[in-house]
């Protein structure tokens, strides 16, 4: 069925712009480098485009929240799956961006103001990630301590934002609202004056879908580039990577900042989707969701992060209530214990094996050696 | 380098070590009173150690003598408690490890640590992509893989290679940086005779043809004799003996510390 089967860069023949594009976004750091994958990808995108037509604007609007969360899932996949930094605090950047968007857009509720709020939210969360990352990585914080610091940052923000009720916590005309959060955040609008466009229900869905596809493909190009190879090398062995002259701290900081921007993008879209943000975004239960999405989907694949985020949130939202959290918690246990690589790499491997791809699984005279330390 | 007048050149900061070595301008690496304490334990104690350009020097000594610590101080994985490190006459004591690498030193750690999840080709690309692109990169990657004897294994995950193949790949990756000084921590530990001979040949070839200076930690004096002329013996964190390999092998004091009957 699939004719062009070579995984990895440098395989495509010289050809048109499509071949050049494929060379850029395909490589060993992503699953899905075959013609078959791209056919499936096109079918999936077409289905998502047709979805609002089939289910109507209410369901489409509901579904767009899951697409919004996919950016949050991608942010953790990049930071943890590719650079090896397990952050429990991607919701910090998500929440800061949501609040920033809320504060600015409530004060300047014109399309231009909302556009500025959108950009400031993303840039603000990237900046916070850069500052936090700088102190962690240049301060020599590694491994589980990064996880602890990011988790504590989440809880600190939760406690702080929950006590912002009252008039003294009003910025311009925007009241932070303490535990009740900020209602009446404007719907997303981009542009200036007459050239502005407001994204409401179905148009918001299409905007988020287009942004997600672009982000996914863009990140595929990043992780399959030379820089992506350095990211993966940092994940695998920091000391060794230094021995090739790479600045490991700077790499981790750059990836962490990118992760902050992606989580921030998710947060901005979230706040404008529900016209609301509250300290719940910093709660432990919400903070653990990205870790679950990415673990289930497969943290070392961008596709896994997107598929699992959307899938799990769809199920969780459909179940509702406490049961949803129990189901998601169980899912995490099952995957951590039974399928630690995640579901997408597992399917990918099964697909490769079924296709009889000799190079990936059967090296010439392969001998596995137990190497003792 | 020796023709530059250090006082008249804004970028040249001549060091005490360089002045002290006088006309011996081919000194590549010099440590000056290098000490590393771990809590109350002194791993290296005021070590003065030097390597000349193009030299192949082995570092031997019983377990706990401070060999690995010394190399990790040189590359910057550890910060010294006291003392200085000079490379090409410049003080590199406070330089980050990756900056030392960019100046021409690299190190292969004791534990084989190729990137197991990456293919052999991806492994080889990593050092080479820093300074080569396109066709040039492809050629260098192929050369590095061929030199490691791994042609045909390009798309195999490095984790499934044998221990010896991993060591070969790792040395190839370090050599691909075209360093002036390569530090190898027990490159043949756990290898069979044929694999040891292949690694020995490789080291000697890189030393002679590419003019890379080596410091190789190794216990086996036969292996040491097969590659090196000069040997430094480390004992209790300090230089115990230095000299030609045959002389060191015959030294009764060296035999005594290896047998451990001095207490």
Per-residue model confidence as pLDDT tens digits over A244-291: 999 999 999 999 999 999 999 999 999 999 999 999 999 999 999 999
Which pair of tokens denotes residue B20?
């002290």
Label residue A5 by pLDDT band (50, 70, 90).
very low
B108 and A233 within 8 Å at the Cβ level: the answer is no
Which pLDDT belongs to residue A14? 54
Helices first, then strands: H and E counts in chain B? 10, 10
Q: Is residue B236 part of a domain?
A: yes
Average pLDDT on A313-341 reads 87
pLDDT tens-digit map of A289-314: 999 999 999 999 999 999 999 999 99
Q: Chain B, 83-122: which have a CB under 8 Å from a chain A CB?
A: 96-98, 101-102, 106-109, 111-113, 115-119, 121-122
CATH number where B168 lies: 3.40.50.300
Decide if pLDDT at A361 tops 90: no
B152 and A364 within 8 Å at the Cβ level: the answer is yes
Q: C-alpha A199: how far from its chain's center?
A: 22
Q: Which long-range contacts (CB under 8 A, 24 or more apart) does B124-131 make?
A: B124/B169, B124/B172, B124/B173, B124/B176, B125/A229, B126/A229, B126/A230, B126/A233, B126/A241, B126/A244, B126/B173, B127/A244, B127/A245, B127/B173, B127/B174, B127/B176, B127/B177, B128/B176, B129/A226, B129/A229, B130/A244, B130/A245, B130/A246, B130/B177
Which pLDDT belongs to residue B3? 41
CA angle (B193 as vertex; B192, B198 as ends), nearest 5 = 100
Average pLDDT on A7-13 reads 43
Which pLDDT belongs to residue A169? 94
Q: Give dist(CA A215, CA A67) in Å, integer.
A: 12
Among B102, B113, B129, select the one facing A237 at the smallest CB separation: B113
Q: Is residue B243 part of a domain?
A: yes
Q: Give dist(CA A239, CA A257) in Å, integer.
A: 22
Which pair of tokens denotes residue A155?
């809880």
Q: Which long-range contacts (CB under 8 A, 24 or more apart) does A134-137 make?
A: A134/A253, A136/A256, A137/A249, A137/A252, A137/A253, A137/A256
Q: Give dist(CA A317, CA A332) in Å, integer.
A: 17
pLDDT tens-digit map of A76-101: 999 999 999 999 999 999 999 999 99
Which pLDDT belongs to residue B4? 41
A360 CB within 8 Å of a chain B CB: yes
Q: Give dist(CA B223, CA B191) in Å, integer.
A: 12
B96 and A363 within 8 Å at the Cβ level: the answer is no
Cβ neighbours for A321, distance < 8 A, ≥ 6 positions apart: none
Q: Picking from A253-257, A349-353, B5-9, B50-54, which range would have the lowest pLDDT averaged per residue?
A: B5-9
| C-alpha count within 13 angstroms, C-beta hemisphere, residue A347 | 14
| φ/ψ bin of A209: left (φ > 0), alpha (ψ from -120 to 50), beta (otherwise) | alpha
- Looking at chain A, the whole-number percentage of residues with pLDDT higher than 90 is 72
For all residues of chain A together, what is the average pLDDT?
Answer: 89
Contacts of A372 in chain B (CB under 8 A): 190
Average pLDDT on A108-117 reads 95
Q: Could you tell me if A71 and A243 are in contact, meaning their C-beta atoms sit under 8 angstroms apart?
A: no
Nearest residue of A to residue B191, measured between CA atoms: A371
Which pLDDT belongs to residue A16? 81
Q: Give dist(CA B110, CA B58) in Å, integer.
A: 15
**Alpha-carbon dihedral angle through residues B64, B65, B71, B77, given to the nearest 10 degrees:** 40
Which pLDDT belongs to residue A373? 36
Q: Is residue B121 part of a domain?
A: no
**Structure ipTM:** 0.85
Q: Could you tell me if A238 and A246 are in contact, meaning their C-beta atoms sit under 8 angstroms apart?
A: no
Q: Which of B97, B91, B212, B51 is nearest to A244 (CA)?
A: B97
From A259's Cα to the closest Cα of chain B, the distance in A is: 23
Q: Give dist(CA A298, CA A311) in Å, integer.
A: 13
Question: Residue B28 belongs to what H/E stretch?
Answer: strand B27-38
Label residue A357 by pLDDT band (50, 70, 90).
low
Q: Are strands B213-217 and B230-235 parallel, antiparallel or unpaired?
A: unpaired
Q: Give dist(CA A258, CA B36) in Å, integer.
A: 38
- A77: DSSP letter: I
B115 and A247 within 8 Å at the Cβ level: the answer is no
Residue with the two structure tokens 């401070």? B66
Q: Give dist(CA A3, CA A233) in Å, integer.
A: 31
Decide if pLDDT at A3 tops 50: no
| φ/ψ bin of B112: left (φ > 0), alpha (ψ from -120 to 50), beta (otherwise) | beta
Contacts of B107 in chain A (CB under 8 A): 243
Q: Could you tell me if B145 and B121 are in contact, meaning their C-beta atoms sit under 8 angstroms apart?
A: yes
* Residue to test with chain B: of A234, A245, A253, most B Cβ within 10 A: A245
Q: Is residue B212 part of a domain?
A: yes
A318 CB within 8 Å of a chain B CB: no
How many of the other CB atoms lie within 10 Å of CB of A109? 15
Our count of domains for chain B comes to 1
Q: Is residue B125 part of a domain?
A: no
Average pLDDT on B189-196 reads 90
Which pLDDT belongs to residue A10? 43
- Looking at chain B, the whole-number percentage of residues with pLDDT higher than 70 is 89
A363 and B115 within 8 Å at the Cβ level: the answer is no
Rounded to 5 degrees, what are φ and ψ at B3?
-80, -15
Which pLDDT belongs to residue B63? 86
- Which domain range does residue B242 map to? 6-114+161-259
Which pLDDT belongs to residue A183? 92
Which pLDDT belongs to residue B25? 55
Which pLDDT belongs to residue A2? 36
Which pLDDT belongs to residue B260? 60
pLDDT tens-digit map of B13-50: 444 544 454 444 589 999 999 999 998 888 988 889 99
How many contacts does A have with B, using Cβ atoms within 8 A? 89
Average pLDDT on B139-158 reads 94
Q: Give dist(CA A23, CA A21) in Å, integer.
A: 5
B244 CB within 8 Å of a chain A CB: no
Q: Is residue B122 part of a domain?
A: no
B139 CB within 8 Å of a chain A CB: no
Q: Could you tell me if A300 and A28 are in contact, meaning their C-beta atoms sit under 8 angstroms apart?
A: no
Contacts of B152 in chain A (CB under 8 A): 364
B126 and A229 within 8 Å at the Cβ level: the answer is yes
Q: C-alpha A299: how far from its chain's center?
A: 10
Q: Could you tell me if A208 and A269 are in contact, meaning their C-beta atoms sit under 8 angstroms apart?
A: yes
Contacts of A7 in chain B (CB under 8 A): 155
Which pLDDT belongs to residue A196? 87
Average pLDDT on B109-137 reads 92
Rounded to 5 degrees, what are φ and ψ at A277?
-145, 145
Q: Is residue B143 part of a domain?
A: no
B195 CB within 8 Å of a chain A CB: no
Q: Is residue B178 part of a domain?
A: yes
A354 CB within 8 Å of a chain B CB: no
Average pLDDT on A201-217 reads 97
pLDDT tens-digit map of A131-155: 999 999 999 998 899 999 999 999 9
Q: Could you tell me if A120 and A100 are in contact, meaning their C-beta atoms sit under 8 angstroms apart?
A: yes
Q: Picking from A347-351, B93-97, B134-138, B162-166, which range would have the lowest pLDDT averaged per residue?
A: A347-351
Q: Give dist(CA A54, CA A305) in Å, integer.
A: 25
Burial label for B10, CB within 10 Å (0-12, 13-18, 19+), is exposed
For all residues of chain B together, what is the average pLDDT?
Answer: 87
Q: Give dist(CA B45, CA B83) in Å, integer.
A: 10
| Residue B157 vs residues A54, A219, A359, B149: alpha-carbon distances, Å | 45, 23, 10, 15
User: A169-183, A184-198, A245-259, A305-319 — which one is most confidently predicted on average?
Assistant: A245-259
């Amino acid at each position: 069925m699939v004719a062009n089967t070579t995984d990895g860069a440098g395989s495509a023949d010289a050809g048109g712009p499509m071949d050049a594009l494929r060379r850029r976004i395909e490589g060993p750091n992503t699953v899905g480098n075959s013609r078959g994958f791209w056919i499936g990808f096109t079918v999936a995108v077409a289905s998502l485009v047709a979805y609002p037509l089939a289910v109507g604007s209410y369901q489409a609007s509901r579904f767009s929240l899951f697409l919004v969360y996919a950016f949050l899932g991608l942010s953790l996949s990049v930071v943890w799956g590719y650079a090896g930094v397990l952050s429990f605090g991607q919701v910090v950047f998500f929440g800061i961006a949501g609040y920033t968007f809320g504060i600015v857009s409530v004060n300047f509720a014109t399309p231009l103001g909302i556009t500025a709020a959108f950009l400031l939210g993303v840039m603000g969360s990237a900046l916070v990630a850069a500052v936090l990352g700088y102190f962690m990585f240049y301060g020599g914080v590694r491994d589980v301590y990064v996880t602890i610091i990011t988790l504590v940052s989440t809880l600190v923000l939760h406690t702080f934002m929950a006590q912002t009720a009252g008039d003294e916590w009003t910025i311009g005309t925007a009241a932070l609202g303490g535990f009740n959060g900020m209602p009446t955040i404007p719907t997303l609008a981009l542009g200036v004056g007459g050239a502005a466009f407001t994204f409401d229900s179905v148009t918001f869905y299409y905007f988020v879908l287009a942004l997600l596809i672009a982000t996914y493909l863009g990140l595929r190009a990043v992780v399959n580039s030379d820089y992506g190879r350095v990211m993966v090398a940092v994940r695998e062995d920091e000391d060794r990577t230094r021995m090739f002259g790479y600045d490991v701290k700077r790499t981790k900081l750059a990836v962490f900042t990118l992760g902050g921007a992606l989580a921030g993008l998710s947060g901005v879209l979230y706040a404008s989707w529900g016209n609301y943000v509250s300290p719940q975004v910093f709660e432990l239960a919400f903070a653990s969701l990205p870790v679950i999405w990415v673990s289930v989907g497969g943290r070392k694949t961008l596709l896994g992060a997107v598929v699992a985020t959307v899938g799990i949130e769809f199920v969780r939202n459909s179940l509702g209530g406490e049961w949803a959290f129990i189901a998601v918690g169980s899912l995490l246990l099952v995957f951590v214990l039974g399928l630690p690589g995640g579901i997408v790499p597992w399917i990918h491997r099964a697909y490769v094996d079924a296709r009889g791809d000799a190079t990936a699984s059967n090296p010439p005279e392969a001998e596995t050696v137990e190497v003792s330390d | 380098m020796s023709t530059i007048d250090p006082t008249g050149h804004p970028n040249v900061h001549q060091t005490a070590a360089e002045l002290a070595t006088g006309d011996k301008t081919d000194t590549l690496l010099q440590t000056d009173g290098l000490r590393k304490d771990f809590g109350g334990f002194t791993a290296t104690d005021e070590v003065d150690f030097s390597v000349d350009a193009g030299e192949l020097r082995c570092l031997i000594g019983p377990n706990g003598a401070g060999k690995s610590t010394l190399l990790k101080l040189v590359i910057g994985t550890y910060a010294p408690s006291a003392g200085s490190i000079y490379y090409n006459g410049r003080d590199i004591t406070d330089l980050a490890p990756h900056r030392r690498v960019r100046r021409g030193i690299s190190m292969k750690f004791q534990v084989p640590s190729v990137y197991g999840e990456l293919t052999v080709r991806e492994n080889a690309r990593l050092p080479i992509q820093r300074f080569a692109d396109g066709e040039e990169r492809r050629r260098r990657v192929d050369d590095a893989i061929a030199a490691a004897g791994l042609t045909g294994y390009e798309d195999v995950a490095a984790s499934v290679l044998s221990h010896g193949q991993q060591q070969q790949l790792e040395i190839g990756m370090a050599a691909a940086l075209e360093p002036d000084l390569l530090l190898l921590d027990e490159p043949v530990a756990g290898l069979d005779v044929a694999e040891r001979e292949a690694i020995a040949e490789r080291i000697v070839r890189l030393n002679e043809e590419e003019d890379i200076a080596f410091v190789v930690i190794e216990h086996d004096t036969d292996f040491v004799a097969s590659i090196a002329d000069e040997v430094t013996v480390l004992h209790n964190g300090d230089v115990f003996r230095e000299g030609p390999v045959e002389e060191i092998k015959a030294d009764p004091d060296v035999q005594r510390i290896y047998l451990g009957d001095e207490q």
